[in-house]
Structure 1
Amino acid sequence: MTSKAEESRATRRRGVGLVIRTAAVIIVLLFGAANYLVLDYAIERADSFVAETERTLVRNEFGHQIDQVVQYQSQLSFWDKSFNELADGMPGDAFVRDQLRDWMWSDFGFSWMIFASPDGEKVLGVYRGEKVSESKAREKLHWVSDLTHKAERKYREALSPDRGGWQVARAKEDPDLLTPALPEIHVTGMRLIDRVMSIVVVQAVVPKSLYIPAHRLEPTLLITVKPVSKKMLANTERRLGVHDLGFTPIVTQEPGLVMTPVGADAYNPMVASWRPNMPGSFVWRSALPQIAMFVLVFAGVMLFVTLRFSALIKALQRSEAKNAFLARHDTLTGLKNRSGFDEEVRRAIRKGETKPFAILALDLDKFKAVNDRHGHAAGDAVLQAVARRFSDRIGKQGCVARLGGDEFSVLLTGERSCEALLELAGSLVRDTQVPIAYDGQLLVIGGSAGIAQFPQHGGSVHDVMVMADAALYAAKNAGRNRAVHADHVGQEMIIEAGEARAA
């Protein structure tokens, strides 16, 4: 009897033990499955977030590059000299040599520049600075015919009768933008030209006054092609922190490749593609071996999940902080770039007239000679040295920015006298004149500075920058290596500076 009772109790204990073990296994399996699903979801969301962030950055970067190409092209298409040159037909050899070869090709790198009438009767093409046959030019026009049709339509839609001729509608000025507004008659696109993805800009050539005489109603279109070079892609990779950036057909289906259309061109069969900084594969390689151990130790699993999520969030925060920094700073010098400087100036403008500020426009003299003689590495060393000197000189007084090339700007907040500003600007000019040691030799440059103040010299960013540029031009015209305050600039120089910024 006792033996049977003991056997019964032993059986019950074994049953309870089995239930407990089964329950424990089920709990561990459920816990492991829950952690697996949570981790998988987090990785998927993190990968999706990083990919979408990089898509936005890539689209914005190419949009910025297209805007720059439009600005460069407008210096030729929105110009009295170009309009007058086309009065009797196509441009002459002197114009092709001086403006297309020695300027647009040598300085800006436009591979193709084509002048064409909308009906295609008159065509002149220049490739890499040299005139080409009409047949070659027409061949390139075939691949951008949709853009030329759109450009002609936008030109005609912008016309209104005026004084016996026609007036092109002016663009609305945005006081928060430093770049001048252009008439809305240009068309842009991304095309595969000569087997290289290129930025194409098409616009009718118009004079600065935007007045078209009646006998000149039929436009001449200027088509420019700016190749997206390997160097441009490498610089973009470095700025955005992506890898293997390039272009691929829109129908490509390759695992691990992120793609996004750029340029808003419906006829472009290519999209930008790159290898994203996906944290998923790294997390999987790190976490999977741990999951097998964590299903045995509940506390260890919870600790690991907490640490992994914390590390993931910190990695995303660092990535966001890095992207935000790159969007507002110049990668070569570490100074604010044009976008970052625009934000600082807009912030100063919003503080109102009770919070005055000054803008110093600075430009390096003889910098191009250093680049030509010693190479771009020497030029970069000069820009970095000058940036350090400017930053040390300004300190906490304001913000120093590199707007591009050898152009710098300084924002100084607070009330300052003309004499104090001239003394500070003169110190910055002298900083540029101190020789810079590079590769066993001393590089010598100079600098010029222009000063304008808010609100004395304008109630908008554009107006103050125009005055600062006018003062800078006055400094250069007076012999360079000096600073000039906007109060000492004549009206003619102000008009010239405004036209130069608009171009």
Structure 2
Amino acid sequence: MTGKAGEGQTIRRRGFGRTIRAAAVLIVLLFGAANYLVLDHAIKQADSFVIETERTLVRNDFSHQIDQVVQYQSQLSFWDKSFKELAHGMPGDIFVRDQLRDWMWADFGFSWMIFTTPDHEEVLGVHRGAKVSEHEAREKLRWVSDLTRKAEVAYRAALAPSLGGWEVRSAREDPDLLTPALPAIHVSGIRLIDKVMSIVVVQAVIPRTRYIPANRLRPTLLVTVKPISQKMLADAEERLGVEGLSFSPIVTEAPGLAMTPVGGDAYNPMVASWRPNMPGSFVWKSALPQIGLFVLVFAGLMLFGTLRFSALVKALQRSEARNAFLARHDSLTGLRNRSGFDEKAAEVAKEGAGGSFAIIALDLDRFKAVNDLHGHAAGDAVLQAVARRFAERIGVRGCAARFGGDEFCVLLTGEHSRESLVGLAEGLVRDAQVPIAHDGQLLLIGGSAGIAQFPDHGQSLHDVMVMADAALYAAKNAGRNRAAHAGDLRMEEIIEARASRAA
């Protein structure tokens, strides 16, 4: 009968084991499927986020390049010498040679610089540093006529009457900009000029004073074209961390190609394109092998969970041990506190019934002066140093405790002669007198000790403690920095100590 019952229990255990294994397999499958779906969704979201982030970076980078071109062009269009040169028509050959060819073309790389009136009645064009025919310049203006109209509108919108003429209102200063704010009279765009994508900037030529005489109200517009070179694109790729940055027709449809309009130019049929950094493929390559090993992962997770649980139990045990230690020990010095001392003393009294033990009560002298003169940090350093010395001197013969403030107590087990106890107590007093280095100075204190023995000076721990305190008071009254034995006390000293203890 017992064999059948054991066999039944074995079958039930096996069935339970199979159930657990089946549940584990199901959990693994569900976990794998959930991870697959979550991972797939996360990858799609990450890819989308990366593309949108790179679109913003590309747009901002081209916007920054346009701002730089505006700043370069402003050195000519926002200049007294340019404004003066245009007083009687288009610039002369000397101005073209000295300023446009050797400066704007050689230094800044503007392929086209065209001066024109808003109605294109007067036109002067410079291509790659060389003056070109008026017809050729007008042909180029056809591709940017919308920008010249906007530039004239912006110029006139910025005018305000001033002293018989006009003043071009300045833009609001932004303290966060590293470049000076320019009058808001420029317009810009990105156009296909001479089969090269180029940054086009158009703005009226004005003097530094921004004052326009009444007879100069009609503006002369300066059109500059800065080709976007392969080096500029390569530098942008390095800054942005993308690959294959170029321009593509807006109708381009190519898988894996990210595109975004740049420059804010509605007439630009081209968009910036690049190969985005897609983290999805890398994540899939890294994750798929792991998904195939979910059974092993599950076993590892179970093992990990067991180890973590064990570690948690050990941590709780250490925490409980630490709390138990702190309940019985002084947090500053590591010595036993009054509760821990009483517990140890009770153990000694119980185990050594009929035996003997001794108590040495100690107080530090001039400790309050250290706290008052040097602060509580110095006082803590003194207590820690003295406690360490006391513990080292007592060793395995007993235990030392701190009752609070500068009050210490030592419990010694076993038989001890009067001479050995006095010698030990005097050693403790000397330990207290050794200077303590703290914060570049030596702290000096002293100590007094009182000694009492069981059963010579009391029939209980309480009585022995009272006599040790009485001996301590006698040492203090005798001049401090010394040890006194309860056997040397007068009756009035004992009565006084007992009364003080009872209070």
Q: CA RMSD in A?
A: 2.8
Letter in 2 for 1:255: P
Report the alpha carbon displacement of residue 270 of structure 1 after superposing the two structures with TM.
1.6
Moved more, 287-296 or 34-43: 287-296
How far 1:290 sits from its partner (Å)?
A: 2.5
Deviations 1:188-219 (A, max 9, x none): 11111111111110001111111111111111
**How far did residue 141 of structure 1 move?**
1.0
Report the Cα offset of residue 24 of structure 1.
Answer: 5.4
Deviation at 1:21, TM superposition (A): 7.4
**Residue in 2 aligned with 1:159?**
159
Give CA-to-partner distance per residue, 1:430-460, whole Å, 9 cap, x none.
xxxxxxxxxxxxxxxxxxxxxxxxxxxxxxx
SS at match of 1:192: strand
Structure 1 stretches of 4+ with a deviation exceeding 4 A read 11-26, 299-304
Match of 1:108 in 2: 108
8 Å CA contact 1:82, 1:205 repeated in 2:
yes
Q: Which has the larger radius of gyration?
A: 2
**Hey, what's the Cα distance between the residues in 2 that align with 1:220 and 1:296?**
78
**Compared CA separation, residues 154 and 291, structure 1 to 2 (3 A):** same
CA distance change for structure 1 residues 118 and 239 in 2, over 3 Å: closer, same or farther? same
Deviates more, 1:258-267 or 1:291-300: 291-300
Deviations 1:38-78 (A, max 9, x none): 11122222222322222222222211111111010000001
Q: Matches of 1:294 and 1:203 in 2, distance apart?
A: 66
Counterpart CA distance in 2 for 1:303 and 1:107 is: 69
Instruction: Provide the TM-score with structure 1 as the length reference.
Output: 0.55
Change (3 A) 1:299 1:251: farther
Cα offsets for 1:112-141 (capped at 9, x unmatched):
101111111111111100111222211211
- The secondary structure found in structure 2 opposite 1:179 is coil
1:175 CA drift (Å):
3.0
CA shift for structure 1 position 19 = 7.8
Aligned pair 1:253/2:250, yes or no?
no
Give the letter aligned to residue 43 of structure 2: I
Greater Cα shift, 199-208 or 247-256: 247-256
Greater shift in the superposed pair: 37-46 or 137-146: 37-46
SS at 2:200's partner residue?
strand
* Distance in structure 2 (CA, Å) of the matches to 1:199 and 1:79: 21
**Counterpart of 2:286?**
286
Map 1:94-493 → 2, pairs under 5 A: 94-295=94-295, 297-299=297-299
After superposition, the C-alpha distances for 1:165-191 in whole angstroms (9 at most, x for unaligned) are 211112222233331111000001111
Aligned counterparts of 1:91 and 1:302: Cα–Cα separation in 2: 84
Is the CA contact 1:189–1:264 (under 8 Å) kept in the aligned structure 2?
A: yes
Relative to structure 1, the CA distance from residue 300 to residue 128 in structure 2 (aligned partners, 3 Å threshold; closer, same or farther) is: farther
Distance in structure 1 (CA, Å) of the matches to 2:299 and 2:234: 46
Asked whether the equivalents of residues 111 and 127 of structure 1 are also in contact (C-alpha less than 8 Å), the reply is yes
Which whole-Å CA distance do the structure 2 matches of 1:303 and 1:166 have between them? 83
Match of 2:91?
91
Counterparts in 2 of 1:36 and 1:196: CA distance versus 1, 3 Å: same
Q: Distance in 2 between matches of 1:134 and 1:68?
A: 28
Partner AA of 1:234 in structure 2: A
What letter matches 1:199 in structure 2? I
Who is 2:390 aligned against? none
Query: Structure 1's 50 and 87: CA in aligned 2 closer, same or farther, altered over 3 A?
Result: same
1:102/1:34 CA distance change after superposition, 3 Å: same
**Deviation, structure 1 residue 149:** 0.7
Partner of 2:59: 59
Aligned-partner Cα distance in 1 for 2:270–2:295: 47
CA contact (8 A) 1:294 1:301 kept: no
CA distance in 1: counterparts of 2:246 and 2:199, whole angstroms: 14
Over residues 220-274 of structure 1, what are the superposed CA-to-partner deviations in whole Å (9 max), with x where a residue is unaligned? 1100011110011111111221111111122222221122222122222222111
- Note if contact 1:294-1:300 (Cα within 8 Å) is conserved in structure 2: no
Q: 1:267 and 1:300, CA in 2 relative to 1: closer, same or farther beyond 3 A? A: farther
Cα distance in 2 for partners of 1:262, 1:302 equals 54
- Provide the rounded CA distance (Å) in 1 between the counterparts of 2:291 and 2:85: 74
Please, which moves more after superposition, 99-108 or 293-302?
Answer: 293-302
Aligned letter for 1:176?
Answer: D
Shift of 1:37: 1.0
> Is the Cα–Cα contact under 8 Å of residues 187 and 201 in structure 2 kept in the other structure?
yes
Q: For 1:144, what is the secondary structure of its paired residue?
A: helix
Q: Is the 8 A contact 1:31 1:295 kept in 2?
A: no
Q: CA offset at residue 20 of structure 1?
A: 7.3
In 2 relative to 1, CA 211–303 (structure 1 residues): closer, same or farther, beyond 3 Å? farther
Equivalent position SS for 2:87 = coil
Aligned-pair distance for 1:25?
Answer: 5.1
Deviation at 1:295, TM superposition (A): 4.9
How many equivalent residue pairs? 297
Unmatched tracts of structure 2, length 5 or more: 1-10, 305-503
The structural deviation recorded for 1:26 is: 4.2
What SS does the aligned partner of 1:236 have? helix
Identity value in percent = 78
Task: Report the Cα distance in structure 1 between the residues aligned to 2:174 and 2:150, rounded to whole angstroms.
Answer: 25
- 1:356 aligned partner: none
1:65-76 counterparts in 2 under 5 A?
65-76=65-76
TM-superposed CA distance for 1:300, in Å, is 5.1
8 A Cα contact 2:25 2:295, kept in partner: no
Q: Would the alpha carbon gap of residues 44 and 302 (structure 1) be closer, same or farther in structure 2, given more than 3 Å must change?
A: farther
Summarize the Cα distance change of 1:303–1:169 in structure 2 as closer, same or farther, 3 Å threshold.
farther
Identify which of structures 1 and 2 has the higher relative contact order when contacts are C-alpha pairs closer than 8 Å and 6+ apart: 1
Q: Is the partner of 2:66 in helix, strand or coil?
A: helix
- Is the partner of 2:198 in helix, strand or coil? strand
Distance in 2 of aligned mates of 1:20 and 1:287:
27
For residue 351 of structure 1, what is the aligned residue in structure 2? none
Return the alpha-carbon distance in structure 1 between the equivalents of residues 195 and 294 of structure 2: 54
Partner amino acid, structure 1, of 2:255: P
CA distance in 1, matches of 2:285, 2:84: 67
**What is the alpha-carbon distance in structure 2 between the residues aligned to residue 40 and residue 109 of structure 1?**
48
- Return the TM-score normalized by structure 2: 0.55
CA distance in structure 2 between the aligned counterparts of 1:171 and 1:75, rounded to whole angstroms: 16
Q: Distance in 2 between matches of 1:180 and 1:12?
A: 85
Which residue identity lines up with residue 66 of structure 2 in the other structure? I
